[in-house]
Amino acid sequence: MTLIETENISLSEWLNLLVQSPKDTIYIDYMFPTDRHREEYISTVHERSDAEVKQLLRRFLWLPTTFNEDKYKAAVLIQKIKGKERIEDTEFHRRVKLYITSRGKLPIWDGLRWVLDLLPTSPRECLQTLEAYVGLYGYPLPDGRFHGIIDAMSVIRAKFIDTPILGNEFESISDRQLELLVAELYGKMGYSVIVTKKTRDGGRDVIAERRDTGKLEKLLVEVKHHVNPIGVSKLRELLGVVSSEKVNKGVLITTSRFSKDAIVFAESNPRIEIIENSQLVKLLNEYLGTTWSKNLYLITAERFRNEKDFIEQP
């Protein structure tokens, strides 16, 4: 068996190893070999296809398995059982017991690759799942596998959330389509939403409400499909509506940007929030997936169904 020291090879050489490994070789393939490899890969991740990225993620995640380090854990558990020591009643220890009683036929670790089915449409849920897994099982996991999950999370965020902003994401979207898209966004963020009638104006394009025990949050969301910067006058108008209707906050979303005066005004008024083009794209990527612009009609189908001017998907 030949050991390949992947720390000293280039990223492209390492990726080629993953695709076609020489016989009788062993090398690091369950995480990036070094920080240098990780940083270089993430810096080029948007040049790579979804299929290529997922192929790498399959290396960092795993099917149901037992790692070599787990055999030591099983031996320790056997000794505790023989000594009649108290063992925590956790699912992890139950799986270790099953591994022992099945003589190694049943794996200790459940598979993680299924989370890849959440990509590219639900990257936030994918990351939340992996974060919860690391929080629960980070300690008993072998170090390399722990770092492999962290590397996977870094790749997922870079590829499917922090995508480059092109500046033309909203060119082919109508004003009303944008309002419906924002409504879906807030729905994914946990709010119940109402899209107001097209003839109504004044900071009420979308009304978003979230009720939790002991807490009620109500937002008025105004959506501006603009090219030019939004000035401070629009924020003053929105703040007036927020105050008169006694809601928690007003949110002004634009496909352009805000003037310096508008930014200063929002920073000094906590009941006003502003979201510009790049921030909106990132939120849409995070909650609706990076394919949101291609799947606009699918994402907003139910809301379009209730519109009198429903447009058939071309």
Tell me the three-class secondary structure of the chain, residue by residue.
CEECCHHHCCHHHHHHHHHCCCCCEECCCCCCCCHHHHHHHHHCHHHCCHHHHHHHHHHHCCCCECCCCHHHHHHHHHHHHHCCCCCCCCHHHHHHHHHHHCCCCCCCECCCHHHHHHCCCCHHHHHHHHHHHHHHHCCCCCHHHHHHHHHHHHHHHHHHCCCCCCCCCCCCCCHHHHHHHHHHHHHHCCCEEEECCCCCCCCCCEEEEEEECCEEEEEEEEEECCCCCECHHHHHHHHHHHHHHCCCEEEEEECCCECHHHHHHHHCCCCEEEECHHHHHHHHHHHHCCCCCCCHHHHCHHHHHCCCCCCCCC
Domain enclosing residue 73, as ranges: 2-160
CATH code (residue 221): 3.40.1350.10
Same domain? 182 vs 73: no
Q: Kindly tell me if the per-residue pLDDT of 313 is higher than 90.
A: no
- Structural domain tally of the chain? 2
Whether 56 maps to a domain, the answer reads yes
- Encode pLDDT of 185-235 as tens digits: 999 999 999 998 766 556 689 999 999 888 889 999 999 998 899 999 999
- Encode pLDDT of 254-274 as tens digits: 999 999 999 999 999 999 999
Whether 266 maps to a domain, the answer reads yes
Would you state the pLDDT for residue 130? 96
Q: Average per-residue pLDDT in the chain?
A: 90
Whether 36 maps to a domain, the answer reads yes
Whether 314 maps to a domain, the answer reads no
Same domain? 180 vs 151: no
Same domain? 136 vs 195: no
**Last residue within a domain, chosen from 134, 160, 186:** 160
Whether 241 maps to a domain, the answer reads yes
Q: Kindly tell me if the per-residue pLDDT of 99 is higher than 80.
A: yes
Whether 311 maps to a domain, the answer reads no
- Encode pLDDT of 132-186 as tens digits: 999 999 888 999 999 999 999 999 999 999 887 776 788 888 888 899 999 999 9
**Last residue within a domain, chosen from 160, 185, 216:** 160
